[in-house]
Amino acid sequence: MKEAGYTEKEIEEIKADIKHFENVRIEIQLASGDYIDLKQYEPAMRHLIDSYIGAEESRMLANFDDMSLVELLVEKGKEAIKDIPDSIKNNPDAMAEAIENNLRKVIIEESPTNPMYYEKMSVLLDELIKRRKEATLEYEKYLEEIIALSGKVKKPDTTSDYPSTINTAAKRALFDNLGRNEPLANELDLKILTTKKDGWRDNIQKSKAVRNAIKDVLKDHQIEDDNEVHRIFDLVKNQREY
């Protein structure tokens, strides 16, 4: 920058401004749940950010390079809070709102894969927020409960709410959205797995075969509502295992 005619004082002022606005950006994105993964930046851009915002902030950014805030909470528990900017973690309300916003975002994103389960998670989050705002829950206890809820949101398979045969994400989705009917969920899962062909979502005939398979199984269980067939078909399309 000296070559461009800037004085040492001007250079330091520019660096300070960059550091300040980068920190503000981080805080806003964390609080809103819109944190940007730094892996998308070119190495040269990342070098500039590391150079201008300082070693401590760079270290904090690196901790979010591979995991979201919710993932960090699930993996590290309360230790993850050490990686949050001081302006957020030193303010209990700001910290709580940042976690809640990030958790809400995950719930919304995952909801199509299991609407009933994530609706339940949303209700639990609402209840926790209400208790926090009414000051009926101590901050440390709140952190324990929101971290536990984060685990249920990110890792439904770790809950003890399912029968032993309901042992995949797809089965859990069917189970939760079909009145927790274990035989129906297992029968439908098997029928879908044995009916679906590669690329079935993008092929009209293959897609129709899966839909008809769902319709047949539901009919065997006295469910003959076309709206229900459509609802379960949409649910099945959102399962990675199918």
- How far apart CA 33 and CA 19 sit, in angstroms, is 21
Q: Tell me the average pLDDT across 20-30.
A: 62
pLDDT band at 158 (very low <50, low <70, confident <90, very high): confident
Residue 201, C-beta contacts closer than 8 angstroms, at least 6 positions apart: 207, 237
Q: In the chain, pLDDT over 90 holds for what percent of residues? A: 54
Whole-angstrom distance between the N-terminal and C-terminal Cα of the chain? 55
Phi-psi region of 168 (alpha: psi -120 to 50; beta: other; left: phi over 0): beta
Q: Is pLDDT at 21 greater than 70 in this prediction?
A: no
Q: In the chain, pLDDT over 70 holds for what percent of residues? A: 75
- How far apart CA 192 and CA 213 sit, in angstroms, is 7
Which three-class secondary structure string do you get for 207-239?
HHHHHHHHHHHHHHCCCCCHHHHHHHHHHHHCC
Whether the CB-CB separation of 97 and 89 falls below 8 Å is answered with: no
Q: What are 186-196's pLDDT values in tens digits? A: 999 999 999 99
Q: Is pLDDT at 48 greater than 70 in this prediction?
A: no
Q: What are 96-145's pLDDT values in tens digits? A: 988 999 899 999 999 999 999 999 999 999 999 999 999 888 999 999 99
**Ramachandran angles phi, psi of 162, nearest 5°:** -120, 145
Entry pTM? 0.75
Q: Is pLDDT at 61 greater than 60 in this prediction?
A: no
